[in-house]
Amino acid sequence: MKKYVFFLGIGGIGMSALARWFRANGYAVSGYDKTPTPLTEALTAEGIAIHYQDAVDNIPPEVRRNREQTLVVLTPAIPKDHQEWAWLREQGYDIQKRSQVLGLLTQGRPTIAVAGTHGKTTTSSMVAHLLHHAGVPCAAFLGGISVNLGSNLLLPGEGMKNKEVETSNSSSSTEAPTTNNRQPTTSTIPVVVEADEYDRSFLTLFPTVAIVTSTDADHLDIYGHKEALVESFRQFVGQIQPGGTLIINHTADPSVAAAAPEGVRVIRYGLSLEEGPELYATNITAQGHQFHFALHSPQGTTDGLVLAVPGYHNVENMLAASCVAELYGLGPDQLRAAVAAYKGVKRRFEFILTAGTVAAPKVYVDDYAHHPREIEAFLRSVRALYPGRRLRVIFQPHLFSRTRDFAPGFAESLSLADEVVLLDIYPARELPMPGITSELILSQITAAEKSLQTKAEILRNAETNPNFDVLATVGAGDIDQLVPQLKNILDIRWNGAEA
């Protein structure tokens, strides 16, 4: 029986949700991360010991003394030369990837798994919120901080507690399993999870309900080419439980829906009616920060829905989430109330500061978008909300490989802005690649103004060059570190007060 859980990379959004689950269930939790962040500080405040220097002596003594009683959870972001990881391997610790642990925790439970190369964090948070708001007991492991929950973890009382985690005690077990062995459902409380395609992590899941938001090319550093990525989605869909449901965006590769096992219901959704989806929206209008629309689903029509988190892509995400909520019994009135109460996810179309007037607004918004299609959807929605206003976008590319693979797409989507400012590439888990820099994107941008700046230059220019009405910071790296400083500068400029 495990008593101790040690996380290598505890500050990751998915890892921290697992750490919180183990902590809530009475395990002694500790971990390592590269740098302190607001998330690691929150974990520390919750009683989890975290260190930031890679040294074996920093591993808690109880972990070093109790190998058989310790589970080590690993994120793929940990470099192969990490000293603590090497020592734990050499000592024969039970080391599991985050995805494997998530698969163990959901085993035998009805699982609502949200997959897709973009949109899965928002959509999974929507599903969890709709069910929770309506009083449907559920658990959720989210890939972002839900504003409604104030966390990336939702526990439904006792339904997701005290589940003993049985592990293989294999320190070399770092490959995602690809078996199609289906596990019997032993609990009626659903678990909402973000099903990550990176490194084929989602193949540890055997969902009752699966959502696939998109199958656009991404993570080509792992897959090599899009067809291999699509094949992993086919495998994931093939693991849906008998009698389950697949809710899939009509723009996804058609072969993915075709891979659903016999007896699995397939529901296609989207904003466009051209392909005839069963699940769609009409009467979509932007009013202030809100999007109003009517939902058409296999259950019927629900009009008068008001989504306070703007964006056509978020209306589309809410379509899939609402369909799940209807499967779990939510009626039109419950759905209207729950949708209206949804406040979003941190760094997903998050309004940081608003000022000015209705006729001449001043707005600062922050978003996690890091794929060309995500950026395009985000910026088109910003344009719809603020037509005719001058838009400055600050973007930090994420990963050298993604920049290499999608530079033209990034340039095209960013060119929707009046002014584009690029930061250097955030490397995350990668080493630099010859010839791959932010200049590769910058050279192809057609916006009237474009530049490559450091964080210090961005802050100075926010003070000295106020020639914009709407500011957007965009990216998945550490660009969020600029947010509080930019907010303070703009609040003084726009409102004459400290933020």
Euclidean distance between the first and the last CA atom of the chain, given in angstroms as a whole number: 49
204 is in an annotated binding site: no
Asked whether the CA dihedral 398, 230, 75, 127 is positive or negative, the reply is positive
186 is in an annotated binding site: no
Alpha-carbon distance of 278 to 271, in angstroms, equals 11
The 3-state secondary structure of 14-43 reads: HHHHHHHHHHHCCCEEEEECCCCCHHHHHH
> In the numeric block, which tokens belong to residue 396?
């930090």
Alpha-carbon distance of 472 to 301, in angstroms, equals 35
Tell which phi-psi region holds residue 489, choosing left (phi > 0), alpha (psi between -120 and 50) or beta.
Answer: alpha
Q: Are 469 and 391 in contact (CB under 8 A)?
A: yes
CA dihedral 434, 439, 441, 447 (to 10 degrees): -170
- Strands 111-115 and 191-195 come out as parallel
Using CA atoms, how far residue 363 sits from 333, 413, 417, 491, in Å, is 33, 20, 14, 10
Contacts for 54-57: CB closer than 8 Å, 24+ residues apart: 54/82, 54/83, 54/84, 55/83, 55/84, 56/83, 56/84, 56/87
Q: Are 97 and 174 in contact (CB under 8 A)?
A: yes
Alpha-carbon distance of 155 to 132, in angstroms, equals 10
119 is in an annotated binding site: yes
Going by C-beta distance under 8 Å and a sequence separation of 6 or more, which residues neighbour residue 95? 72, 73, 74, 85, 88, 89, 170, 171, 172, 173, 174
CB atoms within 10 A of CB 116: 26
Alpha-carbon distance of 478 to 481, in angstroms, equals 6
> Cα 239 to the chain's mean position, in Å?
22
At residue 496, the 3 state secondary structure works out as coil
Alpha-carbon distance of 113 to 191, in angstroms, equals 8
Bridge partner list, 192: 112, 140
225 is in an annotated binding site: no
Alpha-carbon distance of 486 to 457, in angstroms, equals 12
> Cα 252 to the chain's mean position, in Å?
18
117 is in an annotated binding site: yes
Going by C-beta distance under 8 Å and a sequence separation of 6 or more, which residues neighbour residue 271? 280, 281, 284, 312, 315, 316, 319
120 is in an annotated binding site: yes
Beta strand extents in 59-208 (DSSP E only):
70-74, 94-97, 111-115, 139-146, 151-154, 191-195
Q: Where are the alpha helices (DSSP H) in 264-399?
A: 312-327, 332-341, 372-385
Cite the annotated binding site for ATP by residue number.
116-122
Cite the annotated binding site by residue number.
116-122
